[in-house]
């Protein structure tokens, strides 16, 4: 039995983007362990479905609509949670989207949406909740969703890859800032490999260039056929967060390979190059 059964058997957890995908899996797992879960998502219908499933299983949850791309809405979420539920023990900044297409073909509004959700949603999630968590003085946890993509490069997935590089760097610096501040807040970077989620569903590509559809379909099929079971991945994530690990992986071997390749690339200072696997993936 993992340490999570003790650490997260009670208290308040806030999960953004919890209406689907990894966020929903994390919310359900935390609810099953005994936490009161704030299921935050821009899609209220999906958030309510996840909250209802937690409650049906004997847990405690509340669905709250929030657009993480709007800092004021994250401030309002923090105020709501503190007022109605009390101090937050675990904050998971999970909300994120995938955007495909050549840099110059992605419309400006899709670019802004991707960066606002994937980067600013995490930054302002921490900014909104961390002061309350620090002031409370109790041991608490913040986990931010990075990716194996935080250590790689991929043409036509540029906006997503750069956002995840940013979150990895942000989390590393945040970890050190909590040490400098003497705060009892444990920071984790969640690094999913390939999990079965809806991030590459066709409808999630609204606003992308039309040419991106074929790549999105291939990625969807790859995750469907080879991805790890979502609930298993989320169980592993929660266990590692409870163990106060900074590096939190679903597939450690995949992460190690990506990190090793990145380190070798930086040390060699060679120009970026397409691998045969990437070339094959991009052939429509």
Tell me the pLDDT tens digit for each residue of 25-53.
Answer: 999 999 999 999 999 999 999 999 999 99
Return the bridge partners of 91, or none: 14, 142
Q: Which residues contact 161 (CB under 8 A, 6 or more apart)?
A: 149, 152, 153, 154
Residues labelled as active-site residues: 160
* pLDDT 10s digits, 137-179: 999 999 999 999 999 999 999 999 999 999 999 999 999 999 9
Output the average pLDDT for the chain. 95
Environment class of 221 (CB within 10 Å of its CB; exposed 0-12, middle 13-18, buried 19+): exposed
Q: How far is CA 91 from the centre of its chain?
A: 11
The number of folded domains in the chain is 1
The DSSP H or E segment spanning 156 is none
**Domain housing 187:** 4-282
CATH number of residue 148's parent domain: 3.40.50.720
Return the bridge partners of 248, or none: 190
For residue 95, give the nearest of 38, 40, 152 by alpha carbon. 40
Task: Give the separation between CA 75 and CA 121, rounded to whole angstroms.
Answer: 11
- DSSP H stretches of helix in the chain: 4-7, 21-33, 44-56, 71-84, 108-115, 121-136, 158-181, 213-226, 230-242, 252-268, 276-282
Q: Cβ(258)–Cβ(151) under 8 Å? A: yes
Return the bridge partners of 185, or none: 140
* pTM greater than 0.75: yes
Tokens 């409650």 sit on residue? 55
* pLDDT 10s digits, 93-107: 999 999 999 999 999
Task: Give the separation between CA 67 and CA 40, rounded to whole angstroms.
Answer: 9
Task: Give the separation between CA 60 and CA 141, rounded to whole angstroms.
Answer: 19
SS3 category, 142: strand
Q: Cβ(26)–Cβ(236) under 8 Å? A: no
**Neighbour tally for 181: CB within 10 Å:** 11
Q: Which pLDDT value is given to residue 198?
A: 85
Q: Which pLDDT value is given to residue 284?
A: 57
Q: Which residues contact 281 (CB under 8 A, 6 or more apart)?
A: 215, 218, 219
Mean pLDDT of 210-237: 92
Q: Is the pLDDT of residue 280 over 80?
A: no
For residue 124, give the nearest of 157, 165, 167, 90 by alpha carbon. 167
Q: Is the pLDDT of residue 276 over 90?
A: no
Q: Residues 144, 145, 148, 150: is their CA dihedral positive or negative?
A: negative
Which band of pLDDT confidence, cut at 50, 70 and 90, is reported for residue 3? Answer: very high
């Amino acid at each position: 039995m993992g340490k999570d059964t003790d650490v997260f058997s009670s208290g308040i957890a806030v999960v953004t983007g919890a209406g689907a995908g990894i966020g929903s899996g994390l919310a359900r797992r935390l609810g099953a362990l005994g936490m009161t879960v704030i299921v935050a998502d821009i899609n209220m219908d999906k958030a309510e479905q996840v909250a209802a499933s937690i409650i049906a299983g004997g847990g405690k949850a509340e669905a709250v609509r929030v657009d993480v791309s709007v800092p004021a809405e994250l401030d309002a979420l923090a105020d709501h949670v503190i007022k109605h539920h009390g101090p937050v023990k675990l904050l998971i900044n999970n909300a994120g989207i995938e955007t495909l297409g050549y840099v110059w073909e992605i419309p400006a509004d899709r670019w802004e949406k991707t960066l606002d959700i994937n980067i600013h949603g995490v930054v302002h999630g921490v900014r909104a909740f961390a002061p309350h968590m620090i002031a409370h003085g109790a041991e608490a946890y913040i986990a931010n969703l990075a990716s194996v993509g935080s250590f790689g490069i991929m043409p036509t997935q540029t906006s997503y890859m750069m956002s995840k590089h940013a979150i990895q760097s942000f989390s590393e610096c945040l970890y050190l800032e909590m040490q400098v501040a003497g705060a009892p807040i444990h920071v984790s970077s969640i690094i999913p490999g390939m999990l079965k989620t809806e991030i590459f569903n066709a409808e999630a590509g609204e606003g992308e260039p039309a040419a991106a559809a074929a790549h999105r379909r291939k990625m969807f099929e790859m995750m469907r056929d080879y991805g790890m079971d979502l609930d298993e991945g989320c169980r592993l994530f929660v266990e590692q967060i409870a163990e106060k690990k900074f590096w939190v992986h679903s597939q450690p071997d995949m992460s190690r390979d990506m990190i090793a390749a990145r380190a070798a690339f930086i040390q060699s200072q060679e120009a970026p190059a397409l691998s045969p696997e990437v070339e094959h993936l991009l052939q429509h």
